[in-house]
Structure 1
Amino acid sequence: MNRKIIITGTTCTGKTTLGKKLAKEFLIKQIDLDDIHFLSNWIEKENTAFVKDVNSEIEKHLEWIVTGSYQTLLKDTVWQEGTLIVWLDYPLNLILRRYFIRTYRRVFLKERCCGENYETLKSTFSSESLFLWIFKTYWHRKRRMHHWKNTLFSHKEWLILKHPKEEQKLRNLLYDN
C-alpha cells in the first residue's frame, strides 16, 4: 500500500519538522504546504492556484507526506487521497512554548520559513502575528478535526498524537506498513 500521509495540527505543533524527519527516515517525498502557499514577501497564492499546485505536486509521487493545515482548502483533494491522517493534537502550553522558540530562531537568527520568507520583529507584534493566529484557530481546529474524524473522514486511518514523545507510535506504524 502506498503511504500518503497528512500531518496536520494547529500552528507551531511541528508538522513540517516531523514530516522532514519522517521523509528522510522512510525515503518518502515531503511536501510542505506553507512553501507552496507563500510567495516571496509573504504574498499568499490565490486559493485555486494553491490547490492546483498542491495537487500537481502530489500527483508526481506514489508516496508522500503532506505537512500543514489548509484543511478546508484541501479536504476535497489531498484529504481524499490520504491514507493516514496524523493529527498533532498538542496542548496549548506546549504550542505556545514552541511558538516563542520558533519566533526567536526566525526573527533573531534569520531562519527562513514558508518558502523564501523571513519573520520580522514587526510581524511578530502585528495584527497578523502567529501568536494571535494560534488563539484564533486553536479551539476551532480541534473541533473540526474531531468532527472530520467522526464524519467526513471516519473511513481513513487516523493517528492522534497528544505529545511529541508519542512520535514513536507513528514510526512503528510506518515500519509495520
Structure 2
Amino acid sequence: MTESHRCAWCGTDPLYVAYHDQEWGVPERDARALWEKLVLDGFQAGLAWITVLRKREALRAAFAGFDPEIVARFGPEDRARLMSDPGIIRSNAKIDSAIASARLWLEMRERGEDFSALIWDAVDGHPVQNEWRHQSDLPAETDQSRALAKALKARGFKFCGPVIVYAFMQATGLVNDHVVSCHRHGAVRQMSA
C-alpha cells in the first residue's frame, strides 16, 4: 500500500504506519481498554502522539498493564518509581491523573456506571462515519467531544479537554476520521456495521 492511500498524518514511521493500519479508528468497546487509551491520550497532552507510541509498552509495564484495580492502589512509592522511570513520560500531573482516574473508573463501576457506556453515549452508541476528503478538513474538537469532555470532567477525570477527547474518539473508533481515499476508511466503516 503506498503512502498516498493512507491518512497523511501517519507519515512513513513504521510504528505510526502500523498504528494507523491496525488500531486507529477501530471501534473499541472494552471499558478497561477505553480507560487505557484515555490515559494514554492524557499522557500525550503537549507532545506528539508518536512519543506516546514509542513509550507505550514501557507505560503499560510501569502501570501494571493498565489494570485499574492495581493502579488505583498505587501509593507514594509507586509514584516515586514512576517519576524515576526514564522509559515513560515523567510528569507529576499526568502520573497523578492516571492513578486518580483508575480510582474514578473503579468508583464508577461500583456505582453500576459502565465506563464504556459513558464513552459510547457520546455518539449514541454508533460510530460517526465522516467523509473527509482532506486531512485539513478534520476538526480539532466537536460538539460531541465537548459534551464527553464535560461528562468526564464532571466525574473528576483530568487531561480530558475537548481536543484530547476528540483525539481519543478518533483512536477508539467513535468517529471514523480516515479520509475517504485512505485504504482504512472502508474497512473501519465495515467494522462499525
Q: TM-score, normalised by structure 2?
A: 0.29
More strand by share: 1
Higher Cα Rg, which structure:
2
TM-score between both structures, scaled by the size of structure 1: 0.30
